[in-house]
Structure 1
Amino acid sequence: MNTANVSGTAAKGCTHPAGCHTGEVPVYASATVGARFWLLIEHSGPWASHLEDCSLPEDVHTLIKRATNLGIRPQLIRRPGRRGPAPDGIHVMVADSTAAEPWIAEGVFTNPDDLDLDALVAGVLPESCILVSEPVFLVCTHAKRNACCARIGLPIARSLAEVLPDRTWETSHVGGDRYAANLVCLPHGLYYGSMSQAAALAAADAYRSGEVTLDRFRGRAGIPEPLQAAEHFVRAHTGELSVGGVAVESSRSDGSATEAVVLGNGARYRVVVEPMTFSTPCGTACADTITTYRLVSLDRLSPVRYATPALT
């Protein structure tokens, strides 16, 4: 398949693809900050570079615009390797990655106006949607956005679908072409990048067990990038891998540096990170450099002790 010329339009991608997207470049602290609520719409394609240019029914375009205005991230999805007829009605999934217990639900609508997106951003399950008990895995294969996403992502989506056929979807642009192939685990919004087939399977197995793998883990969507970095360094320091086992309690900025208090592995840590620029190993159309974060300091905080009242 010529992923650089899908549907007749060239897509950007690596000029030296063999040396890129191998996991040698740091990927942590790069999950999409704005992705807190999700709207997934099944559409077998083709997909234009941007959703507004896709050939979709007008009412679906209206639904996508409504979601975007509410701060919900819209994604097109399709089954790996399938380009069959569209399902009856509009098959959607909605997810809340911000809830104390993140959730994902699905429904089929003949009229997109029947999908209550206001309920979603209020943290309420929309009517006519049913909660899904199993996680959902999205692999970006959006060739028109970046040829590398299809060239690397398609084999990964297909291999993951062999193991998890009902849970795996190809998806449109998720953010971070330079980290292709990208994997998103919902409902928590966990991002992985520079994935191989083996790494994707390992990440999916870990997530189904309630854990992350730090290898190629970009971070959790919806969290500012420096705080993703702080969480990453606490996980690396403590070995805490449970999905909910690390969380930022508070943070403040001091110039370019960010100081955060992070709970992890039953303790609290003061973490200071600052941005740094990393050159990619080859000149690519995806990125010549990336901005990431370096660890300045990580200190375990003493537990709070309360004074014993004096006896009178």
Structure 2
Amino acid sequence: MTTKRARGCDHPAGCHTGEVPTLASATTKARFWLLIEHAGPWASELADCELPEPVHALIRRAAGLGVRAQLVRRPLQRRATPTPLRLMVADTTAEVPWLAEGFFDDPSDLDLGSLVRGVVPESCILVKEPVFLVCTHARRNACCARIGLPIARVLGESQPGRVWETTHVGGDRYAANLVCLPHGLYYGSMSQAAAIAAANAYRHGEIVLDRFRGRAGIPEPSQAAEHFVRAHTGELSVGGVAVESTRSDGDVTEAIVRHGDVSFRVVVERAVFAPCGTACADAIATYRLAALEHIQCGTPVLT
């Protein structure tokens, strides 16, 4: 087995503090999720982790189907992985997002084909309560463990039985990262207080815009368009805003976003955030709002 040395805090000033813009940075490729309970240790890459071959086979099968696989463990769990193996699956962009879990002696019994068809696999049951993932993947990035571990512990006390440490979720510069399932809501640069606030809001069907990265499985320009409509309207319910269509031309995207009975035309542009005040090599890609107007009357709200 080969392992990679963990990266440290080599990101621009302001990362991990909330100063760096987090909007529209959720992973775009994770519509379907597979969570595998494993106490660790975790190597930098899943392929290098010391896992039973049937689990590695399951991870490879998931990758072939476009399912994002994560190893998870309870906060501070370092004992042997329980048996039978707990597996959880989620469809984050279904009309009604769902999460289900099951316990398997043989991981090959999990029907991932059903998952990608939007159907709860046999031997799994729907989970009614949300699940919160905190990235603590030290081998991937030291900051994820240094900042994430205390947050996972405190959040676990606030949301008993619903919190898991997890492997890399994307966006090391935004550590600590929090993912709320089944909707796949991403938060970054979290403090303990911010994580508790976000989890409490999600349990009530709402989003906290501060440090909200976006929703997994949705293109970044659409995440940005949703963010700006929420900021303008004050709409915080998880399903209260939806992108109906988009059209892109280079770095500019025009989106039609529905909010209740109102639709908005939103234009967003890719932009650069340079913490040093210049277009430095460590500049971070983000989005700026170019125009926002009610589509019914075409009257600009903000340009």
Which residue in the other structure is 2:235 paired with?
A: 240
With over 3 angstroms needed to count, the CA separation of the structure-2 counterparts of 1:87 and 1:281, relative to structure 1, is farther
Which residue in the other structure is 1:203 paired with?
A: 198
User: What is the CA distance between 1:112 and its match in structure 2?
Assistant: 1.0
Tell me which of 101, 104, 111 is aligned to 1:116: 111
TM-score scaled by structure 2? 0.93
Would you say 1:294 and 2:296 are equivalent positions?
no
Task: Give the gaps of 5 or more residues in structure 2.
Answer: 299-303
Tell me which of 51, 69, 72 is aligned to 1:77: 72
Give the greater-gyration-radius structure (CA). 1
Which residue in the other structure is 1:5 paired with?
A: none
User: What is the CA distance between 1:264 and its match in structure 2?
Assistant: 1.5
Which residue in the other structure is 1:160 paired with?
A: 155
Would you say 1:22 and 2:50 are equivalent positions?
no
Which residue in the other structure is 2:173 paired with?
A: 178
Alignment RMSD (CA, Å): 1.9
Tell me which of 266, 271, 274 is aligned to 2:266: 271
Would you say 1:148 and 2:151 are equivalent positions?
no
Within 2, Cα distance between the matches of 1:200 and 1:264? 26
Moved over 3 A (4+): 15-20
User: What is the CA distance between 1:113 and its match in structure 2?
Assistant: 1.2
8 Å contact kept, 2:133–2:179:
yes
Task: Give the gaps of 5 or more residues in structure 1.
Answer: 1-7, 305-312
User: What is the CA distance between 1:124 and its match in structure 2?
Assistant: 0.5
Within 2, Cα distance between the matches of 1:115 and 1:16? 39
Give the fraction of aligned pairs with identical amino acids, expressed as a percent.
71
Cα deviation, 1:252-291, whole Å, max 9, x if unaligned, reads 0123200000011431000000101111359xxxx82210
User: What is the CA distance between 1:97 and its match in structure 2?
Assistant: 0.6
Tell me which of 211, 215, 224 is aligned to 1:229: 224
TM-score scaled by structure 1? 0.91
User: What is the CA distance between 1:18 and its match in structure 2?
Assistant: 8.5
Which residue in the other structure is 1:40 paired with?
A: 35
2:90 aligned partner, one-letter code: A
Within 1, Cα distance between the matches of 2:11 and 2:32? 35
Within 2, Cα distance between the matches of 1:146 and 1:172? 10
- The size of the alignment, in residue pairs, is 294
